[in-house]
Chains A and B, each alone.
Chain A
C-alpha cells in the first residue's frame, strides 16, 4: 500500500482507526505521519458510508483503499458494494467505473467469537462485477494487493487475521505484481489435488507433508482469487490427479467449494476417479467463542489428512 500510495497520488486509504492508531492490525502503521491526514482518513464508525464514500471518490477519479476493520462489520456495506459498486460499470454501460479496494481482515481461530471470526467471501464472490481476492502468503499478499489497487474494478481484498502473525515468508522489496484471477500450485503432486485458499492453505500444506510419509503425493492449488476463479488451473489439476478435495474455513452449503466442485463436474467429470470431497466449516451461523467450541468449527490438518487418505484409497 505504501508503495502504491507513493507511486500514484490518486491512491488513498480510509477506514476506522487507520490514522494515528495505524489500524487495529497495524496495516497502516506510520502512514499517518508519512502521507498526512488528507490521504489517510480516519472515518467515523459508519461502515456503509465508508464503502459509499470510497465508491463516490472512485467514480470521480481517485483510487480509494477502504478498510473495514473486521470483515464481520462489512454487512452494513452490502448495499453499497453489491447493490452499487458491482453494478456501476454495467448500469452506466461503461461510462462510469469503480477502481476501489475494500480490505477486510477475516477468518477465525483467533478467539474472535461470533462477530470477529467470520468468512464473508461467498457473499461477494456470488456477484458479477466484483473481484474477490484472498491471499495466503506474504508474497502473494503484496503482489495481489498491488494488482487490486491498479485494477479498474472493485476488489474485495480479504486478509485472514490468523495469517498476520502465524505465517512468515519472503517479501521482495522490489516491485512485482501477482495477476488477479490466477491460482497458484503451491505444491506439486500426482495422487490427490487439494483446492484451498487463505489460512487453510497452511493446514493443507501440513497435511500434505504428513501423508507424504505414507507415500501419498498431494498437489495443492491455492486459488488466491475467489472471483474470478482460475478455471484453467482448476481443471488441469483435477484432470491430472483425478481426485479432488476442497478445503475452506467458510461454511459448506453454496460456498466456494460448491462452485469449484460444479466446475469440475461440468467440465472434467470423465477424468475423476472418485467423488469430490469437501472439508469446510460446519453449518452453524457463526464461529463460537470458547476454545472448545471454536475448535469444532475450524478445519485442521487432522481432518484434511483423513479426507486425503480416504480419497487416496478410493
Chain B
C-alpha cells in the first residue's frame, strides 16, 4: 500500500464552517478530504480505534463483574477523538481531555495496560497513581491534563495553558475537549471569551453527543449548533460529522494551522453518538428511545471507516481479522496483568499534598 493516497468520499456537509465574518453557514467542498490524510495513516487510525473499542468493551464488562468501579464509555466518539488527536503533534501540543476521551489516549499512544490500570485502580497507574477516576490526572510525557469531574472546569485552564505557550514563545497548540453539557457552564463562556480576545493558540473541541447525562440538546440550548456561538466570541466555528474521522482530522488540522499562525482559537463541534449510558452508573433506558439508539448505531464510526477503507482497497478482511485478534490479545494481556497487581501502597497516601512538607522551607 505504501503511502498510497486514498480518494475517499466524504459525506455531503460533513464539515460546516461558521465564520465569524459571515452570518450564513458555508458548506465546504470535498476537495480537502483526500489531501489531508493518506490511506496508510487512516489504516493506522482504524487499528487504534479497534483497540480503543476493545478496551472500552472490556472495561465495561469488568464493571459489570464488579472489577471496575466506574466507566464512562467513549463508544461512538472514537472518530472524533482519534481524528482530532491525529491532527496534532503528540508530545508537543497540550491535551486537556475529559472523562470520556479514552480514544484520545489510545490515539496518542497510551497502551491498554496503562489505561486499564486506571479502570481497576491498581498500583502503578500512570496519571494519578489511581488516586483519581480512570483517565484522570496528568501525563506530562504527552502533555495530557485531565483533573476534574466538575464539568467544564478544564476550559479556562486550557486557555491558561495556551496563554503560557504564547507568552513563552512556543509553537504548541492546546486542544481542550469537552462535551455538549460543558458548553452550558459559565467557565466555558469565560474561557472562550478570553482566548478570543488574546488570539490564543487553542482549539475548543466539543464532542456533542446530544445528551448531558439525560438532558437532551433541546433543553440545553435554544440554538441549532454549539459552534454557532463562536461568532459571538469573534472566533471561527466549525461543525463536523464526528463519526467520520476524515473531516474531524481536516477541521482540527486547519484549526491547528490557524492557531500556530497566530490566528487565534477555533471552536470545533463534532457531532457524535453516545452508544452507552452516561457512565456505568447510569440507566439510559429511563430517558432514551430504543429506536433512536438503533439509528445511532448505524453511524458507528468503526463501521463507517472500515467500509471506507475496504472500498478503497486499503483494508482487507485479513488485516481486519488481524487487528481484532491483536487488539483482543493486547487487552487480554492487560486484563491479566492488571488483575494480578496490588492496589496502591497506602504508605504514600500523604505524598504530594505540597511540594515540600508543611513547615519545611520551599525556598
Contact = CB atoms under 8 A, between A and B. Distances in A.
Q: Do A and B bind each other?
A: yes
B168 A61 contact: yes
A79 B157 contact: no
A44 B157 contact: no
Interface in B176-232: 186-187, 190-191, 193-194, 197
Nearest to A180: B362
Interface in A24-39: 38-39
A57 B161 contact: yes
Interface string A228-243: 1011100000000000
Given A12-B167, A129-B353, A91 B128 contact: yes
A62 B191 CA distance: 18
A92 B137 contact: yes
A39 B193 CA distance: 19
Contacts of B361: 179
B160 A60 contact: yes
B286 interface: no
A147 interface: yes
A52 B160 contact: yes
A93 B128 contact: yes
A131 B360 CA distance: 13
Interface string A199-239: 00000000000000000000000000000101110000000
Interface string B161-172: 111110110000
Contacts of B165: 60
Contacts of B47: none
Interface stretch (A81-89, A112-120, A164-172, A186-194): A81-89
B294 interface: no
A44 to B, nearest CB: 6
A53 interface: yes
A265 B147 CA distance: 38
A181 B167 CA distance: 32
A150 B138 CA distance: 23
B308 to A, nearest CB: 37
A56 interface: yes
Contact of A91 (B137, B194, B351): B137
Given A52-B190, A84-B148, A90 B353 contact: yes
Interface residues of A, number: 53
B200 to A, nearest CB: 10
Contacts of A48: 156, 186-187, 190
Contact of B163 (A53, A89, A94, A232): A53
B359 interface: yes
A158 interface: no
B150 interface: yes
Given A152-B356, A153-B355, A49 B156 contact: yes
Interface string B127-164: 11101100011111000010110100101111111111
5 contacts: A44-B197, A48-B187, A52-B187, A56-B156, A91-B136
Given A44-B194, A56-B164, A83-B150, 14 more contacts: A56-B161, A56-B162, A61-B164, A79-B153, A80-B156, A91-B137, A92-B352, A94-B351, A94-B352, A95-B140, A96-B138, A129-B354, A147-B362, A153-B362
Interface of B: 94, 96, 127-129, 131-132, 136-140, 145, 147-148, 150, 153, 155-165, 167-168, 186-187, 190-191, 193-194, 197, 351-356, 358-359, 361-363
The 9 closest A-B pairs by CB, nearest first: A56-B160, A52-B156, A49-B190, A152-B355, A56-B157, A92-B138, A60-B164, A93-B129, A53-B160
